[in-house]
A and B are shown apart, each in its own frame.
Chain A
Amino acid sequence: MVAGLLLGGFYAAVSLGVSLIFGLLDIANIAQPAFVILGSYAAYVMNSSFGLDPILTGLLFTPVFYFLGAVVYRLYYGSFERRGDESLRGLVFFFGVLFIIEVSLSLKYGVDYRLVDAAYIGKSIDLGGVGIAFRLLVPCLVGLAMTLALHLFLSRTFYGRAVMAVSQDRLALRLMGADPVQIKTIAFGVGIAAASLAGALLITIAPVVPSTDRDYIGRMFAITVLGGMGSVAGTLVAAVILGVAESLMATFFGPSWSLAVSFGILLVVLAVRPAGLFGR
């Protein structure tokens, strides 16, 4: 149960990118999990070659990922969004990107499980009789910090508020004097940058293989939809709900069914209340 809560904090970190890109910008970036895994492998390489702490790697690589995100968005925009062709081809484009990233990692690093080693992994702390592993606690805390940071970004900074404006009304944005494409590029870049850190957290919690990204597709979108498109607070709440639900499922039915939980939640939310908990 506690593990579920902690997992929730981590899941929030992982889903922030989707919440931003799909929730606010309405771009169905299904390649997000691949970027997260890319972040995991970056952390792995830095950790195994230089002994660098994974979270540090995640932070260091955020500018790289940001740039990558900006490039991907520009490609997407030029090829699809501008032509009004988003739906079918945009989706296929992102799937292609997901695929290429995953297979490239397979080619480069093979299908063995990779993990990282850091000072706090393997240690745990005892709180009121319950043992809490650091390797779960730290990602959870970082996840909460990331959520808070994104919230502040969106509500307090100029560019953040511009992103919120873009999600609601492009015309208003134009009148504000900002260029919607530039704002979207920034937002997309931030979303991918978040993947860098999320990936580092992921590999801290558990070993990864290139196909791990597929486990997270369902989770990310289930959380974003459940939380409500474009609501950062909703993402956090939904992430915790999913974390707890998966833990309970794993306890009673075994771990292999945990993926079915997110899928089930996704279908139920779509059927019953597509706007999600905090959605507009």
Chain B
Amino acid sequence: MMARPARALLVGLAVVGAGIVVAALRVNQYVYFAGYVVLQYVVIATAWNILGGYAGYVNFGTPAFFALGAYTAVFLIQSTRAPLPVLILAGGLVSALLGLGIGYLTLRLRGVFFSIATLALSIVLQTMIINWEYVGGSRGLSVIRPSGPPFGSYVTFLFTVMVLLSVVAVTVARFIERSWIGRGLAALRDNEEAAECMGVPTLRLKLFATTVSGFLLGVAGAPFPYYVTFVEPNSAFNLDYAVNALAMPMIGGTTSWVGPVIGAVLLGTAQQLATVTISSEMNLFIVGVVLVAFVVLAPEGILGLVRRLRGR
């Protein structure tokens, strides 16, 4: 029984190691900029899928959770100049609380009410941030990166941090998926009423998934201020996050941790490559169309298509 977790740990460490090697290679800085975004989406897509794919509850308010992580970091940077790990942890915890709060208020009802609440959440949170001068309000805030990153430039450092966070997120998702919690979530996703009657504590599991999902989304957002150096609400609450958080798991496949990773890497890379050639609106338009196409035609995503090709 010890072989499995140890092997997963080795794989995770190998990925982080590879990330550090890439960082040390000092290739074109743009690779790290773009790579950061793609890895950020790996975390976001994985986080979304813990609630959306495993439990079947759709969160349309990803920007709220992400931005809350980012602005928690801004707040701490402004007030205490806390080190990055503290920012990440704090961002995660605050967003986790948001998830728990929204969950507690709406998860006793049908799933659609949770989704509607998350839909309105981003707008409200954005309004609150806009009115909060300490973190920059609507004008935004400049953030100065701390001096002396452990190695390379600060961007390569952030890139490596994101590699680590991606591994953490995927590990958490994989662990949940394979555990009794994951099986319970699958049961409640398939048929919540039956799951409850078969002894599954559905409310508690849903709250758990919402909290973990929120935590990881906040974690993804916490390094954002240092990445962009100028934080303003429109970029933190960008609609990109909302639609990508949906599209990436949907395209990759929602039933397993592999799906969001595939979706994030494919779609994220495509978007990074496309930003130079097409406008951001066109980019969003295409993502929207692809999303609808997949939802209608290939609801199980790429993973599902692969499975069907293999003839299972």
- Answer yes or no: are A and B bound together in one complex: yes
Q: How far is A96 from B119 in the complex, measured between Cα atoms in Å?
A: 13
Q: How far is A266 from B292 in the complex, measured between Cα atoms in Å?
A: 28
Is chain A's binding surface mostly helix, strand, loop or mixed? helix
- Taking CB atoms and an 8 Å cut-off, the chain B residues in 221-255 that contact chain A are 239, 243, 246, 250, 254
Q: How would residues 89 to 129 of chain B score, 1 for a CB under 8 Å from any chain A CB and 0 otherwise?
A: 00000000000000001100101110111011101100110
The smallest beta-carbon distance between B48 and chain A, in angstroms, is 11
The smallest beta-carbon distance between A33 and chain B, in angstroms, is 10
Among residues of B, the one whose C-beta sits closest to the C-beta of A211 is B239
Q: Which size class do B's interface residues fall under?
A: 35 or more
Residues from chain A with a CB closer than 8 A to the CB of B109 are 270, 274
Cβ–Cβ contact A92 & B123, under 8 A: no
Cβ–Cβ contact A106 & B288, under 8 A: no
- From B116, B130, B250, A92 is in contact (CB under 8 Å) with B250
Q: Which of B73-81, B149-157, B259-267, B279-287 lies at the binding interface? A: B279-287
Q: Which of B3-11, B18-26, B52-60, B195-203 lies at the binding interface? A: B52-60
Cβ–Cβ contact B111 & A87, under 8 A: yes
Residues from chain B with a CB closer than 8 A to the CB of A79 are 295-296
Cβ–Cβ contact B117 & A266, under 8 A: yes
Q: Does B140 contact A (CB under 8 A)?
A: no
Q: Does B291 contact A (CB under 8 A)?
A: yes
Cβ–Cβ contact B296 & A75, under 8 A: yes
Cβ–Cβ contact A215 & B131, under 8 A: no
Cβ–Cβ contact A270 & B105, under 8 A: yes
Is chain B's binding surface mostly helix, strand, loop or mixed? helix
Q: Does B306 contact A (CB under 8 A)?
A: no
Q: Does B289 contact A (CB under 8 A)?
A: yes
Cβ–Cβ contact B292 & A221, under 8 A: no
Q: How far is A234 from B34 in the complex, measured between Cα atoms in Å?
A: 50
Q: Does A175 contact B (CB under 8 A)?
A: no
- Taking CB atoms and an 8 Å cut-off, the chain A residues in 210-237 that contact chain B are 214-215, 217-218, 221-222, 225
The smallest beta-carbon distance between B194 and chain A, in angstroms, is 14
- Taking CB atoms and an 8 Å cut-off, the chain A residues in 105-154 that contact chain B are 106-107
Residues from chain B with a CB closer than 8 A to the CB of A215 are 123
Residues from chain A with a CB closer than 8 A to the CB of B292 are 93, 96-97, 100
Q: Does A183 contact B (CB under 8 A)?
A: no
Cβ–Cβ contact B123 & A91, under 8 A: no
- From B105, B127, B279, B288, A99 is in contact (CB under 8 Å) with B288
Q: How would residues 243 to 280 of chain A score, 1 for a CB under 8 Å from any chain B CB and 0 otherwise?
A: 00000000000001101101100110011001000000
Q: Does A67 contact B (CB under 8 A)?
A: no
Residues from chain B with a CB closer than 8 A to the CB of A68 are none
Cβ–Cβ contact B124 & A263, under 8 A: yes
Q: How far is A267 from B104 in the complex, measured between Cα atoms in Å?
A: 11
Residues from chain B with a CB closer than 8 A to the CB of A262 are 120
Residues from chain B with a CB closer than 8 A to the CB of A271 are 105
Cβ–Cβ contact B285 & A217, under 8 A: no
Task: Take A87-B111, A100-B292, A267-B105 as given contacts and tell me if A221 and B127 are in contact as well, using a CB distance cutoff of 8 Å.
Answer: no
- Taking CB atoms and an 8 Å cut-off, the chain A residues in 54-105 that contact chain B are 75, 79, 85, 87-89, 91-93, 95-97, 99-100, 103-104
Cβ–Cβ contact A270 & B113, under 8 A: yes
Task: Take A260-B127, A270-B113 as given contacts and tell me if A100 and B285 are in contact as well, using a CB distance cutoff of 8 Å.
Answer: yes
Residues from chain A with a CB closer than 8 A to the CB of B296 are 75, 79, 93
Cβ–Cβ contact A92 & B281, under 8 A: no
Give the residue among A28, A89, A93, A96 with the most B Cβ atoms within 10 A: A96
Residues from chain A with a CB closer than 8 A to the CB of B123 are 214-215, 217-218, 259, 263
Q: Does B299 contact A (CB under 8 A)?
A: yes
Cβ–Cβ contact B243 & A85, under 8 A: no
Q: How far is A276 from B115 in the complex, measured between Cα atoms in Å?
A: 18
Q: How would residues 130 to 154 of chain B score, 1 for a CB under 8 Å from any chain A CB and 0 otherwise?
A: 1100000000000000000000000
Q: Does A30 contact B (CB under 8 A)?
A: yes
Task: Take A75-B296, A88-B58, A99-B288 as given contacts and tell me if A30 and B119 are in contact as well, using a CB distance cutoff of 8 Å.
Answer: yes
Q: How far is A215 from B112 in the complex, measured between Cα atoms in Å?
A: 19
Task: Take A79-B296, A96-B288 as given contacts and tell me if A91 and B112 are in contact as well, using a CB distance cutoff of 8 Å.
Answer: yes
Cβ–Cβ contact B112 & A107, under 8 A: no
Among residues of B, the one whose C-beta sits closest to the C-beta of A210 is B281
The smallest beta-carbon distance between B31 and chain A, in angstroms, is 28
Q: How far is A152 from B243 in the complex, measured between Cα atoms in Å?
A: 39
Cβ–Cβ contact A28 & B116, under 8 A: yes
Residues from chain A with a CB closer than 8 A to the CB of B279 are 107
Among residues of A, the one whose C-beta sits closest to the C-beta of B112 is A28
Among residues of A, the one whose C-beta sits closest to the C-beta of B131 is A256
- From A96, A217, A221, B295 is in contact (CB under 8 Å) with A96
The smallest beta-carbon distance between B92 and chain A, in angstroms, is 24
Residues from chain B with a CB closer than 8 A to the CB of A97 are 292
Given contacts A92-B58, A225-B113, A267-B117, 4 further A-B pairs with CB under 8 A are: A88-B56, A100-B288, A100-B292, A263-B124
Q: List 11 A-B contacts (CB under 8 A).
A: A88-B52, A88-B57, A91-B58, A93-B296, A96-B246, A97-B292, A100-B292, A218-B124, A222-B120, A257-B131, A271-B105
Q: CB within 8 Å of B: which residues of A? A: 28, 30, 75, 79, 85, 87-89, 91-93, 95-97, 99-100, 103-104, 106-107, 214-215, 217-218, 221-222, 225, 256-257, 259-260, 262-263, 266-267, 270-271, 274
Q: Which 9 A-B pairs have the closest CB atoms?
A: A218-B120, A96-B292, A99-B288, A100-B288, A28-B112, A103-B285, A263-B120, A96-B291, A79-B296
